[in-house]
Amino acid sequence: MRQLIHRALFCLGLLAGTAQAAAPGVYLEDFTWSELRDALRTGTTTIIVPVGGTEQNGPHMVLGKHNMRARILAGRIATELGHTLVAPVIAYVPEGRISPPAGHMRFPGTISVPDEALRGVLEGAARSFRQAGFRDIVFLGDSGNYQSQLQAVAAKLNREWAASSTRVHFVAEYYRATQAPYILALRDKGLSDAQIGTHAASADTSLLLAVEPSGVRTDHLALADEPSSGVAGDPRAASAELGRIGVELVVARSVAAIRAALKQAGR
């Protein structure tokens, strides 16, 4: 019995040591400060700032759809790039007028902040990463509402930091990949424009099914008009298989755009 106890304790010790030695991956939140310091010293000097949003997505998709997609897709992009980390997702973004409510704000759970609030968070995050030692800061946005805000902050900081080696890169290709290229691919698969939709329909829903299926209530996939349900289109043709087409487009085009930006910055 005593030998069995010793063996069990030895095995537990091995498991604990393995867990302690495990690499933290690509998400900044999983690092200790000293692990991050060491990563920066060994060339991990690019960080992606994913921007999501918290909004209604019909009765079949969770409010955090954009946050889920932004985090997971940014992780895939960072992994493919190498020497790249992913910052915490920015989940509070402009979603329209709060009172009287307009757009998505007509549905409970949507969170809206002013444009200047988002710009302030982006700027503060970028300044923090520069102070930490990152040289390339990449803005990716999962929604179309605030693309111009990301671009404006990147341009402002690049003007201010023109004499330094730090650059901020706004990568529009991340969001653009989910528009015309993905829509054309879905049409080739036989989907109509009504099925593809513009919000919480088959295109939108398929993307989430491909990266985080737990965020979709498949028993609530039903054709409904936007004014009453928040859905613009028909989500019933959605599938993870269709979503993977969009995912591959987003990852491939984002990686190519970031590599081009880094090359232009002399990396």
What pLDDT is stored for residue 134 in this prediction?
98
Can you give the residue ranges of every domain in the chain? 24-264
| DSSP-based three-state secondary structure for 33 | helix
| DSSP-based three-state secondary structure for 140 | strand
What pLDDT is stored for residue 22 in this prediction?
76
Distance linking the first and last C-alpha atoms of the chain: 60
Q: At what angle do helices 147-160 and 115-132 cross, to 10 degrees?
A: 40
What pLDDT is stored for residue 14 in this prediction?
44
Query: Taking the C-alpha atoms of 87, 91, 97 and 101 in order, what is their torsion angle to the nearest 10 degrees?
Result: 170
One-letter amino acid identity for 36? L
Of 137, 142, 199, the C-alpha closest to 170 is 137
pLDDT in tens, the chain (267 residues): 555 444 544 455 544 444 455 779 999 999 999 999 999 999 999 999 999 999 999 999 999 999 999 999 999 999 999 999 999 999 999 999 999 999 999 999 999 999 999 999 999 999 999 999 999 999 999 999 999 999 999 999 999 999 999 999 999 999 999 999 999 999 999 999 999 999 999 999 999 999 999 999 999 987 666 668 999 999 999 999 999 999 999 999 999 999 999 999 999
Top CATH class of 24-264 equals: alpha beta
What contacts 24+ positions apart, CB below 8 Å, involve 118-124? 118/51, 118/90, 118/92, 118/93, 118/94, 118/146, 118/149, 119/149, 119/152, 119/153, 121/90, 121/92, 122/49, 122/51, 122/90, 122/149, 122/150, 122/153, 123/153, 123/156, 123/157
